[in-house]
Amino acid sequence: MCQHCKDSSAPNPSHFEEGDGLANSPAHKEMAWSEYNELIQGMRFFDPHIHMVSRTTDDYQAMRQAGIVALIEPSFWVGQPRTGLSSFKDYYSSLVGWERFRSSQFGIKHYCTMGLNSREANNEPLAEQVMEILPLYIYKEGVVGIGEIGFDDQTPAEEKYYRLQLELAKEAKLPVQIHTPHRDKKRGTERSMAIALEHGLDPSWVIIDHNNEETVKSVLDQGFYAAFTIYPFTKMGNERMVKVVEQYGPERIMVNSAADWGISDPLALPKTAALMKMRGISDEAIRLVTYQNAIDAFGKSGQIDVSDFEGGLSVEKTEKFHGNSILRGGQQPDVSKDSLVIQ
């Protein structure tokens, strides 16, 4: 699988990238999730990075069942080049429209971050047009940051639009969610942070994503939030994540799944929480890295009201969310997957 990625000469997708070497020695333990999920009974999770437009209703149901009550969907690229501005408009609108509604149907509160992806910054004529319409989206209800932006190939065009979007974030008083590159990661991460500081951003308003053991120390030392993506083969494994939390503690660290159209796991948070619990990490530390820290960081946008989801996104909560006692959307009934008969 991973070997296949390495051999591929085609541009790689956002999160489903070539392995970092560790994938060649997967710690293949025979521990079934179904045997350990009781460890997280009663826990609530907030996944601050997941691309739900690429996921199915089965995922939504499994996520809700595993305790995920809210999530953030960063805007990213669709897996192939865009052919025009309309494609961006439709995509941004879907994040605050259809996908948000779809999520509410499964009792999960859906937030998003808006931005021009680094990969897409390289198409400059189109990027110019996107920057013109972006302000119409960033002020929308439930938009909790500018993201995911930053570097991919680390080209001059990427830097230009990264800087422009940092200014936009400052003006709109929004947190920034920064994607760090797959290749030349360490330098790319340092460069992203240096530029953010150069633009006068408060590091506690900036979430540096896709960290690993090599980048985390510098990110935390400089006062940024460090997000870790638990993603099979190419990013962090959750056993490594446990060690990071053991070493650095839970402060300003958050876990996400970044699940998308690649081989990824929308249950990365609950699974990591269960593993942490098993390895003796305190409930409070687990709560911080899988729930609270993300809320604290992205909540600076003023767009997160925990009462919308902390008791579960019931129909009444949805009602409140829409601020209307008459308009209701209804939630999806649970379907029994074990039944042969479909009614």
Partner 1 sequence: MSHLIDKTLWEIISQNTSDTESEWLTEKGKASPIELMTAFVASPRFLSKKIVNVEIEEEKALTDAVAGFSVNGWSLVRLSRVWLLTQLDETEKETFIKNIETLFDTAEMNELVALYSALPVLAYPEQWLFRATDAVRSNMGFVFDAIALHNPFPAKYFSELAWNQLVLKTIFNDKPVHFITGLEERENANLALILSDFAHERWAAGRSVAPNVWRLVSKFMNEQLLSDMKHLFESRQTQNQEAAALACYDSDYAPAKALLSSYPEFEKSIDEGALTWSNLEFTDLNTYVPTLQR
Question: How many helices (H) and strands (E) in the chain?
Answer: 15, 8
Residue 325 sits in the site that holds partner 1 (CB under 8 A): yes
Residue 92 sits in the site that holds partner 1 (CB under 8 A): yes
Smallest distance, Å, CB 85 to partner 1? Answer: 11
- Closer residue to partner 1, CB minimum distance, 80 or 324: 324
For residues 132 and 126, give the distance between their C-alpha atoms in angstroms, rounded to a whole number.
10
For residues 228 and 218, give the distance between their C-alpha atoms in angstroms, rounded to a whole number.
14
- Closer residue to partner 1, CB minimum distance, 32 or 327: 327
Residue type present at position 119 = R
Residue type present at position 151 = F
Contact letters for partner 1, residues 292-311 (x by CB under 8 A)? ----------xx-x------
Could you give the residue ranges of the DSSP H alpha helices within 222-301?
238-248, 268-278, 283-287, 293-298
Residue 339 sits in the site that holds partner 1 (CB under 8 A): no
- Closer residue to partner 1, CB minimum distance, 33 or 101: 101
Smallest distance, Å, CB 42 to partner 1? Answer: 26
Smallest distance, Å, CB 95 to partner 1? Answer: 8
Residue 61 sits in the site that holds partner 1 (CB under 8 A): no
Residue 335 sits in the site that holds partner 1 (CB under 8 A): no
Residue 327 sits in the site that holds partner 1 (CB under 8 A): yes
For residues 196 and 166, give the distance between their C-alpha atoms in angstroms, rounded to a whole number.
7
- Tell me which residues in 174-203 interact with partner 1 (CB under 8 A): none
Smallest distance, Å, CB 126 to partner 1? Answer: 17
Candidates 22, 37, 39, 89; binder of partner 1 (CB under 8 A) is 89
Residue 82 sits in the site that holds partner 1 (CB under 8 A): no
94: nearest Cα among 137, 129, 126: 137
For residues 226 and 211, give the distance between their C-alpha atoms in angstroms, rounded to a whole number.
7
Candidates 1, 3, 58, 98; binder of partner 1 (CB under 8 A) is 98
| Contact residues for 226 (Cβ-Cβ < 8 A; gap 6+) | 208, 211, 215, 216, 219, 220, 252, 253, 254
Candidates 156, 333, 336, 342; binder of partner 1 (CB under 8 A) is 333
Q: Is the alpha carbon torsion for 214, 25, 272, 230 positive or negative?
A: positive
Candidates 87, 129, 155, 331; binder of partner 1 (CB under 8 A) is 331
| Contact residues for 83 (Cβ-Cβ < 8 A; gap 6+) | none
Contacts with partner 1 by CB under 8 A lie at 89, 92-93, 96-98, 100-101, 105, 133, 135-137, 139-142, 302-303, 305, 315, 320, 322-333
